[in-house]
Each structure stands twice: as structure tokens, then as C-alpha cells.
Chains A and B, each alone.
Chain A
Amino acid sequence: MAQNTSKNAQIDADDIMISMKGVNKWFGSFHVLRDINLTVYKGERIVICGPSGSGKSTLIRCLNRLEEHQAGDITVQGITLNNDLKNIDEIRREVGMVFQHFNLFPHLSILENCTLAPIWVRRMPKARAEEIAMHYLERVKIPEQALKYPGQLSGGQQQRVAIARALCMEPKLMLFDEPTSALDPEMIKEVLDTMVGLAEDGMSMICVTHEMGFARKVANRVIFMDEGQIIEEKDPESFFNNPENDRTKLFLSQILDH
């Protein structure tokens, strides 16, 4: 029996993508993340939502050390996230990130944006990196823009390039930080379609988003945050149909009713 449990635990440990235990973070004296405990398994798609200022972006930015947490433990793919630069670099190689404002490099062409990290971080030969970049640009359906510069593309196209750029590092996990919040309504769909496609291929992802349709369609779990805490965590069906917390109910009524 004891052997059996330990065996299960072993399998579980292998399947864990991210574990956050008692994570706390402060901006100055402002307590922005309060005792966050979260485990993400391989292949899981998690949507984090909540009112603005609730710490959801900060949470996922802590996962690749764009923000530093002050207390608690974060492990990503078994690597402990601490001040060791080697660990941070290793985690960043395995974790792709897509930002609200794309953060493409305006002085590089689309293709160069996508090949830069594989060439410099993964030490990949240029030809191979370009091959991979074209593969992912085709996947996000803009191979014909490869030689243009980011400034010449529409917002939706830029965000798809940003997704392709992250994919070129062949990450194990993708983080999306409000990927559609800065887009015109007409362009949201093309980005969401790309993300749905990724999810269907089994990519592990954590998305901070207010696109509830996307959450319903793709997420395994929906996490609701308020004032730096995770106050509700459910599968999408029960999250939308019978939320428990009053704050969640209020939030859902406000974004769904109009």
C-alpha cells in the first residue's frame, strides 16, 4: 500500500508543470500576491480572471521571473525559481510568454523576431531556426509577412507573430498575459483562434484573459483572483453556472450581462 502511494506520488511529480507554495509578493508595502498555492499539471489549460489590480498578471509574471516573489516556493518543470541566474535562464527557455502589448522588437523583421532567441539562446544554426520560424508563422497563418517589420502589421497580426516567436523556442508551457486586451474587436477572433489551435494540440497554457467564451471552450480550470488571492478555482462549467463566492458572482454578472 505504502509502495503504491509513493509510486503514484512519483508519477504525479513527473506530471507537475508548475507548483506554487505559499507564494507572497509585495510592491513596496502593497501586498499584491497573498499566499498563492497552485499546481499546474502537464497539458493543463488554465484561465485566470478577476478584476483589474487583483494580481493575476503579477502571478504569471512571477512564473518566469519578470517579477520577483518575496516568500514561498515556485518550481517550474522541477527547477526551483530562485536568484540563481542559471535556473532563471533554464526556466525562461522552457516557458513562452505573450504580452498584452506584443513587445515585438520593432527594429527586426518578423522572421528575425522569431529566429533571434533560437539562434542566440538555443545556439541553433540560422537555417534551421528560419525553417522552424517559417513553420510556426505558417501555423499562425502569416508566413507571407515574414520579411516585413512589426510596425507594418495590424495588431492582430502582431500578436500572432508574438505567439509564433514564443513557439519558436518550442516551450513546454505558454503564458498569455491579456493577449487580446489591446486589440480591435475585429482582430480578437484571429488571435483567440490561434490560441484555441494551440490548446487543441495539447500545449500547457496559463492565460490571463477576460474572454469568457475562450475560457468556456478551452480551459480545464478557471481561477478567479481578487485582492491578490485565489478565491475560486473550478472547471469552467461549474465556474460559470454556479459560482460560490459573492465576489465571483458580482464579477461574472458585470462582464456577462450586457
Chain B
Amino acid sequence: MAASPLVVVLVVAALAIALAIRALSATRGDRTDLAEAPSSEAARAAHRHATRVRRVAWATLVATGWATLQVTGAMAGLAQGRLLGLAPIAAGIAFVLVHAIGDLTWPRPTGAVRRASLARRTVTDVTPAPAYRLTVAWGVALTVTLVACGAVSGNGRDIARAYDGGTSGAGPFPGWFYGAPLLLAALVLLAAVHGLVVLVARRAAVAGAPDRWDLELRRHSARAVLGGAQLVLGLTLAAVLMVAGSAVRSVGSSTGSTISGELVDTGDPLYTSIGISLVVLALAIALISLVVAMRTPHAARTPALAPA
């Protein structure tokens, strides 16, 4: 049955939502207020730097998304739909780039006497697991969705349902025409996010700050990046499911084709149900990723500093 891959999409999207809800509850109370807040100038400089980078990155995300939408609005034809789909991920890549610049320009140790911990830092140490899992879940769900949509779409731009005596088609549908660049962009974003987390783990420790505070600051940086990345991946997934769901519902509910006065197409309730389910899942995913993103600036606020 042509609709089978879409059932897989339904299952994967539902699993991603379940994981997201679990991740959301796991991040509740995730913020750690540290008793050992340092007051050194180096710690203040690192604190300022982290806060500035976080604000500039979110502003860049919004500005890039808005600019891409403006460019898309001025375009016409099929390219418009392609670019429109890429807008959130383009904004996400710009967001990660700002964070990368922030980590590459991280304040370096100064002074004649330098101190370093001999504890080994790993990427796992600095990565908040729920936020990482959520980002990967959206990425995997998006990949499965795009591959499944590519498999069921004939010409890569719409979906068709065959019935005795003809076919019923609807579009736009996220087949390979729209899906291939989107999939590539999503993979680039996921690779960039992983690279950024490695950068966060490798950047210089804050001089004069306790190891725990330094580690917490790294985790906050990673959480901020993952918060933005999951937002753009979640919104892209939601948009893909929404477009796919609308097309599938439309193709399932189309009726009225007649041959020699006889009604030969009475619609297909299975397509209609799958289409409606995809739309519902899309709304749920968009809502969850927005809620997580709105919680992120608070959760990713840099750890407290002791008064000067």
C-alpha cells in the first residue's frame, strides 16, 4: 500500500513526541544554582561573554529566519517553496555559528600563574542529556519523515492515490524535490551542533573558578545551543508534517470523479485519517519545540556570580 511509509512517519513522530515530553519533564529543575559562585575578574569576563553570545545568537536566529522569509516572499515558483522550507534550518545554522565564534573567542587565561584541573572533560560531561536526546529525536524524526515522503511521492512534489479508473493527486508534498535540500541542511545542522558541543568541552577553563562552576557554565552553553537547534529542527519537522498531512488528507477526501456518469472515486478514509493525524502531530511538535525553546533562555542563564 502506498500509504505504508506514512504510517511509519506517524509512529516515529509519535515516538519523538513521547521522548520530547520525557525530555521536557527531565529538564524541569535542571538549572543548578551553585553555592561556590566565583568573584574573580576572569569569571566575570567569562560570565559576560557567555551572556553576550547567548543574546546575539538568539537575535541572529530570529533575524536570519525573518530575512530568509523576506527573500522567499519576493520569489516565485517552485524555488519559493524550497527556500521557505529551509528558512528555520538556515536560521539554526547561523545561530550555531554565532555560538562557535563565541567559543573560539572565549577569554584566554592571563597572569603569570595559571591553574588547571587534571580532571578529564568529555563531551558527555558538558552535554545535558535530555536536551541532546530531544535534538537528536527531532533530527531522526525529520530524516524518517523526509525519506518516507520521498518514497511515496511520484514526482517529488506531490502525492497521488490511484483508484479504479484514475488517480487523485495533491500538492505541495515534501517529496525529494523539497526534501533532499532539507535533509542535507538538517544533517549539516546536526553536525554543526555536535562540533559546537566539542568546542564547548575544549574551550579554556575559567581561571579562578571552581571546577563545578566551570562545568556548569559549559553545560549552560551547550544547553543554549541545543535549545535553538531543537527549535529549528522541531519547527521544520512540524512544517513538513503539516504540508504532508494536508496533501494526504486532501488526496484522501477528494471524491466525485465519474466515468460514463458513474462515480468511481469515493475517497479513501485511510488517507484522510493519516492526513489528519499528521496535521495533529505537526501542531503538537511545533508546540513542544516552542515551549522547550521558551524555557531554554531561563534554563541556560549563566550560573550565578558572587557579588564583587
Asked if A pairs with B, the answer is no
Interface residues of chain B, those whose CB is within 8 Å of chain A, are none
